C-alpha cells in the first residue's frame, strides 16, 4: 500500500479553497455563465488558481475573461475587430462619448 500511495499526489484544501476549486455554482453567477460561455474555462481556471494561492495565474485567466467581455461590448456597439485592448477601448470610449 505504501508503494501505491507514492504513485499519487494528494492535495489537501481548506473548506474555503475547496469551494473555489470545485464550486457548486459558477463563480460569477449563472447569468454570466449563460451569456459568456467562451469565458467559462478561464473563470473556472481562475477559481482553481485562487484555491491554490496562485494569484498571478488567476490574474492571467481573469484578463482573458475581461477580454471576452470587452469583445462582447465592442460587438454590441458595432465596433469592428481590433488588434488590441487599447484599440477596442479607444473605439468604445469614442462611441459612448457621442451625444
Total structural domains within the chain: 1
Computed over every residue of the chain, the mean pLDDT equals 92
Question: What is the mean pLDDT of the segment spanning 13-41?
Answer: 93
**3-class SS letters over the chain:** CHHHHCCCCCCCCCHHHHHHHCCCCCCCCHHHHHHCHHHHHHHHHHHHHHHCCCHHHHHHHHHHHHHHHHHHHHHHCCCCCCCCHHHHHHHHHHHHHCC
- pLDDT tens by residue, 48-78: 999 999 999 999 999 999 999 999 999 999 9
Packing angle of the helix pair 55-76, 85-97 (nearest 10 deg)? 40
Q: Do 64 and 42 meet the contact criterion of CB atoms below 8 Å apart?
A: yes
pTM of the model: 0.81
Question: What is the mean pLDDT of the segment spanning 92-97?
Answer: 90
Select from 66, 64, 89 the least CA-distant residue to 79: 89
Burial 39-58 (b: 16+ CB within 10 A, else e): bbebbbbbbbbbbeeeeeeb
Domain of 63 in residue numbering reads as 2-97
Amino acid at each position: 500500500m505504501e508503494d501505491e500511495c507514492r504513485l499519487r499526489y494528494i492535495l489537501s484544501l481548506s473548506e474555503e479553497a475547496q469551494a473555489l476549486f470545485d464550486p457548486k455554482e459558477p463563480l460569477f453567477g449563472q447569468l454570466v455563465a449563460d451569456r459568456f460561455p467562451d469565458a467559462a474555462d478561464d473563470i473556472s481556471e481562475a477559481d482553481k488558481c485562487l484555491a491554490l494561492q496562485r494569484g498571478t495565474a488567476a490574474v492571467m485567466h481573469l484578463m482573458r475573461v475581461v477580454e471576452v467581455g470587452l469583445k462582447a461590448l465592442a460587438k454590441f456597439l458595432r465596433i469592428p475587430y481590433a488588434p488590441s485592448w487599447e484599440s477596442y477601448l479607444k473605439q468604445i470610449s469614442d462611441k459612448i462619448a457621442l451625444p
